[in-house]
Structure 1
Amino acid sequence: MANTTLTRSVPRTEPGQVIRQPRKKLTVGKAAAIVVAAVLAVLWLVPFAWATVTAFKSEADASASKVSWIPPSGFTFDAFASVFQAGNIPLWTWNSLYTSAAITLITLVISALIAYALSRIDFKGKKLLMTAIIASIIVPPPVLMIPLFYQMLAFKMIDTPWAIILPQVIHPAMVFVLKRFFDQIPRELEEAAVMDGASRIRIFMQIILPLSRPILAAVAIFVFIGAWNNFLWPFISTNDDSLLTLPVGLQTIKSAYGVQYAQNMASALLAALPLIVVFLFFQRQIIKGISTTGLAGT
């Protein structure tokens, strides 16, 4: 009997011809998800748009009883000018920038090292330490304010940048997230590196960290945003006006003549603008990091 060979027919294409993939059908579940996402987006964007419009109104138009998206007197930068005249916005922004960057960098180093040790190294008390880390995630941060303040006072760090930075570099949740991600990295890569004579720190620096760029970027962005938005701890730990961060400094320029709606919205936009820029530039890393981390539980 002659041997026959079964071959899969492949469509022939001319040079330069593009093969079009069949479109995926839109299911009811996907359509419902799109509708829900659109509704949530509108619910978030409408207040943000209203705050932006109010920031560019005059105080008379912003305080008027009649609600209007287009102010009768036209748009103006008076609210922003009042904020810049009443406070040292560039200095406060710089303080927030370098303290948030320092917190992010130190947090990444500490969290990554702890997570790697919990993921790859067996030692006594490992399970107890992991339990303590998970339990500390549910502790409300305000509970730790008084102990941390006395600790900084004992170290004579009050009214220094380190009083703002050091208490914010420990993030148990980030340790847990990184540990779950490191657990997914194949151990065969490390075993091959050990056979080649690589040390533990070299494996961590040249194998683990390069493979963990998406989650490290996501963690860095979340930590930076949290540090930038933190108001309570910088407010408690500093009294020097030259050390005020932007959220704290903006609260010191409130008017004594009642609520200034346009000025308040302008202050809120100035505080949120850097975070919006960070999200626009790194949204792919955020989404990729979150989706990659979610695989650990599957």
Structure 2
Amino acid sequence: MTKKEKIISWILVIFVGVIALLAISPLVSLFISSLRPSAELIRNGITLSIPWNELSMKNYVNMFQNGGNYWTWYFNSLLISGLTIVLSLFFSSMVGYALAVYKFKGQQLIFILVLLILMVPFEILMLPLYQLMTTLGMIDNYLAVILPMIVAPVAIFFFRQYAIGLPKELMESARIDGCSEYGIYLRVMAPLMLPSFAAMAILQGLGSWNNFLWPLVVLRSNTMFTLPIGLSTLLTPYGNNYDVLIAGSVMTVLPVIILFLFFQRYFISGLAVGGVKG
């Protein structure tokens, strides 16, 4: 590298480092605040200042001992997000794969409909979805949160774009060997789509984990709430349970970080390939 290239490289490293620090600063301030007393939080709010003499693990101890329904909400979010990820990856990938590799009547029309639905804000779809869930008797049920999310238009579009680049010769070879169409997908093509599965697992999991509006509409019981709804109930006009709220918010971030670390190997390649093929 020339001297000029080294200088440019160092400038880019410093710039990216500053951006990274700015991006991580909210998480750092949230963690520091979770170690401060509730009264201190009310007085000064969430800041990056570190009052060393006031930091302790009392908020976390209190959350584990007197967290009330917090762990129920945590379990609800884990269950709903886990099922949403698995079902969404399975059904959306099959639809996207079929639109990419098969030629059938109405194929382009279905794809256009997927794109049209992709452009419609979810808030517009909430009323008909709510009426459907009411008719099916699924209000205040896990299924009311999960079912509308398992065939996501964005996931269908992404899997279609990725599957377009899959080698069709493998399909012909599998057919010659007597493999069924479902077998071709599950045994031959799906393993080749692992990067796309990893990328969509992160995106779908993050969306489901942070979903607030739709669960708020269809869930009624306190024991059925997900974490975003449950944590919001801790802030009331009659009292604010900041110790559980802030410590609980820190614990809420952990599954997302774990999910990303688990799939990060394929995440970037899946997004890059799925975004440019077509």
> RMSD of the TM alignment (CA)?
2.6
Q: Is residue 123 from structure 1 mapped to residue 123 from structure 2 by the alignment?
A: no
Alignment-mate amino acid for residue 69 of structure 1: S
| Equivalent in 185, 197, 212 of residue 231 of structure 1 | 212
Distance 1:27 1:185, change over 3 A: farther
2-structure distance, mates of 1:249, 1:81 = 19
Question: What is the deviation of 1:160?
Answer: 1.4
Q: Please list the CA deviations of residues 211-266 of structure 1 after superposition, one character each: whole Å capped at 9, or x if unmatched.
A: 11111122122111211111111111111222111211112222545666555432
The aligned counterpart of 2:29 is: 50
Which runs of structure 2 are paired with 1:157-196 in the superposition (5 Å)?
157-196=138-177
Residue pair 1:87, 1:250 contacting (<8 A) in 2 also: no
Q: Please list the CA deviations of residues 33-65 of structure 1 after superposition, one character each: whole Å capped at 9, or x if unmatched.
A: 434422221111112111111111012332345
Q: Is residue 77 from structure 1 mapped to residue 57 from structure 2 by the alignment?
A: yes
Higher percent of residues as helix: 2
Distance 1:88 1:261, change over 3 A: closer
Q: Is residue 152 from structure 1 mapped to residue 133 from structure 2 by the alignment?
A: yes
Question: What is the deviation of 1:136?
Answer: 1.6
Runs of 5+ consecutive residues of structure 1 not aligned to the other structure = 1-21
Q: Please list the CA deviations of residues 61-80 of structure 1 after superposition, one character each: whole Å capped at 9, or x if unmatched.
A: 32345966222642123434
The aligned counterpart of 1:141 is: 122
1-structure distance, mates of 2:151, 2:8 = 40
Distance 1:104 1:119, change over 3 A: same
Identity of aligned residues (%): 32
1-structure distance, mates of 2:132, 2:109 = 25
Which runs of structure 2 are paired with 1:1-12 in the superposition (5 Å)?
none
TM-score by length of 2: 0.88
Q: Please list the CA deviations of residues 249-290 of structure 1 after superposition, one character each: whole Å capped at 9, or x if unmatched.
A: 112222545666555432321222221222233222322322
Q: Is residue 211 from structure 1 mapped to residue 198 from structure 2 by the alignment?
A: no
Which runs of structure 2 are paired with 1:5-20 in the superposition (5 Å)?
none
| Equivalent in 37, 41, 44 of residue 62 of structure 1 | 41
1-structure distance, mates of 2:61, 2:15 = 39
Distance 1:257 1:153, change over 3 A: closer
For residue 159 of structure 1, give the secondary structure of its aligned residue in structure 2.
coil
Q: Please list the CA deviations of residues 172-206 of structure 1 after superposition, one character each: whole Å capped at 9, or x if unmatched.
A: 11111111111111111112222223221121111
> How many residues in Structure 1 have an aligned counterpart in Structure 2?
275
Alignment-mate amino acid for residue 143 of structure 1: I
1-structure distance, mates of 2:147, 2:214 = 11
Distance 1:52 1:234, change over 3 A: same
TM-score by length of 1: 0.83
The aligned counterpart of 1:267 is: 248
Runs of 5+ consecutive residues of structure 2 not aligned to the other structure = none
Alignment-mate amino acid for residue 18 of structure 2: V
Alignment-mate amino acid for residue 54 of structure 2: G
